[in-house]
Amino acid sequence: MDQEVPPPSPNRRPVDRRSTKMQAQNPSRRSFPRTKDMDDEMALTRIGLAGLAVMGQNLALNIAEKGFPISVYNRTTSKVDETVQRAKAEGNLPLYGFHDPASFVNSIQKPRVVIMLVKAGAPVDQTIATLAAHLEQGDCIIDGGNEWYENTERREKAMAERGLLYLGMGVSGGEEGARNGPSLMPGGSFEAYKYIEDILLKVAAQVPDSGPCVTYIGKGGSGNFVKMVHNGIEYGDMQLIAEAYDVLKSVGKLTNSELHQVFSEWNKGELLSFLIEITADIFGIKDDQGDGYLVDKVLDKTGMKGTGKWTVQQAAELSVAAPTIEASLDSRFLSGLKDERVEASKIFQGDYSTGLPVDKSQLIEDVRQALYASKICSYAQGMNIIKAKSSEKGWGLNLGELARIWKGGCIIRAIFLDRIKKAYDRNPDLANLLVDPEFAQEIMDRQAAWRRVVCLAINNGVSTPGMSASLAYFDSYRRDRLPANLVQAQRDYFGAHTYQRVDMPGSFHTEWFKIARSNSQN
């Protein structure tokens, strides 16, 4: 396939001329097929990308569109050709495809930087091995997938032993974000980050009042960890929106047309966000293969790729309460039991509704307020997980800066994030988002509506695990005394685990059994 040499670009680092001349003298190492007008000194691309599934293709095109010549490679060569054709069709972008890893790596200017976008786990290790065989000291590999953070830290150490730099970079925004501007969360080698900072600043989503949605997250696997928790918050957000829909539809009897109008209106106020926007769109789509609306034909069975589960596992290991995110994960597990649920519905037949009339306009307003209050709890839990891990690992993560880079490009982007950033700007050591003065007032203003929605749902047999868990989280957090005293007394009774007292210091143990038996005999 004939390809043109990429033109000089102001966005490129100075080319290593020794490498360029060596390639001109050694045809087997040439970056591109020769053309009639090619000079002996061949131009090299600024960066490479390996892994051309949906995210990889779109990110590569985004980089090329921003003026950075890019080399691309994929084990399945048809994906390479497909990406090259897209680059031509979308503006003759400076993107160049290679069918073998050696030519791919050698087409990139030194120090070389290669982004990988492949499935997490073993495929990442396999791709690293393929690339590293052709990389040289000082070159850099960036993993842009949803990888477990400890794998990134293991690979960073292994690469350092070979003189290579390594970054684990969360990329959020899906297909559209990758193509037009994602939220980027790079963590690991700061030196590696500086290699490509200029690229990332242009490729990331641009928010007018706060800048590019990218920042150096921190050391080790912090970038992957932050992206993982971002996804956990996303789970919570999606579940809460689904519950709002369920209450409005099942109790309020709103039609899809009405739901479309409600969510469109909500997207103009404090709930303005990507997820609310696409939800409004979904309710307006008619079924092109039958009557009615498409959303009603979608099977009620939610898939997942693991990041939500990792978030919940980390919350447990860090002893951080995250009931809203946990409820969203449990809801996905339960949704997977479709056949069991169908059979259970036959056993537990009956009308669970109260039959009482519902004021639609009041219900819509109450659900809006309940959704917003629950959302605060979900984000508070996610931020607390990040804060706890940052403290454990010594990452020194800036929570306000994370809120800033999530304002654009990513799935959880929302106007709400600007308020979170301001909360952490006011107090970087904020114990919990709930106690920020502004958020505390907002929750207090909305709690009556929140309680009405949860009670109404329960009384009508509609499950709202996310909203209920969020309300329970708030109610537990706001109380100065919980029934945990009884639980600790039980632990001391059967396991001699001791307890502390409210009226004097120290640890105590009581022979509860003996005293109870003695009392029963008197």
Three-state SS across 363-424?
Answer: HHHHHHHHHHHHHHHHHHHHHHHHHHHHHHHCCCCCHHHHHHHCCCCCCCCECHHHHHHHHH
Of the two residues 89 and 25, the one the predictor is more confident about is: 89
Confidence band of 297 (pLDDT split at 50, 70, 90)? very high
pLDDT in tens, 336-372: 999 999 999 999 998 888 888 899 999 999 999 999 9
The answer to whether the CB of 41 falls within 8 A of the CB of 17 is yes
Lowest mean pLDDT of 31-45, 180-194, 236-250, name the range: 31-45
pLDDT in tens, 441-459: 999 999 999 999 999 999 9
The answer to whether the CB of 39 falls within 8 A of the CB of 28 is no
Q: By C-alpha distance, which of 159, 172, 195 is closest to 68?
A: 195
Q: How many CA atoms lie within 13 A of 40 on its CB side?
A: 6
- Can you give the pLDDT at residue 443? 96
Q: Is the pLDDT of residue 22 over 50?
A: no
Give the span between the Cα atoms of 92 and 85, in whole angstroms: 9
Q: Is the pLDDT of residue 480 over 90?
A: yes
Q: What is the mean pLDDT of residues 154-177?
A: 94
- Can you give the pLDDT at residue 354? 83
Choose, from 65, 147, 234, 243, the residue flagged as catalytic.
234
- Can you give the pLDDT at residue 403? 95
Q: Is the pLDDT of residue 247 over 50?
A: yes
- Can you give the pLDDT at residue 316? 97
Indicate the annotated binding residues for NADP(+): 51-56, 74-76, 118-120, 146
Choose, from 66, 227, 375, 387, the residue flagged as catalytic.
227
Q: What is the mean pLDDT of residues 31-35?
A: 36
Q: Is the pLDDT of residue 510 over 60?
A: yes
- Can you give the pLDDT at residue 375? 96
Q: Using DSSP, state whether 69 is helix, strand or coil.
A: coil
Indicate the annotated binding residues: 51-56, 74-76, 118-120, 146, 172-174, 230-231, 235, 305, 332, 491, 497
Kindly report the average pLDDT of the chain as a whole number: 90
Q: Is 234 noted as a catalytic residue in this protein? A: yes
Q: How many CA atoms lie within 13 A of 113 on its CB side?
A: 24
- Can you give the pLDDT at residue 343? 96
Lowest mean pLDDT of 13-17, 333-337, 351-355, 482-486, name the range: 13-17
Helix 54-65 to helix 77-89 angle, to the nearest 10 degrees?
40
Q: What is the mean pLDDT of residues 328-340?
A: 96
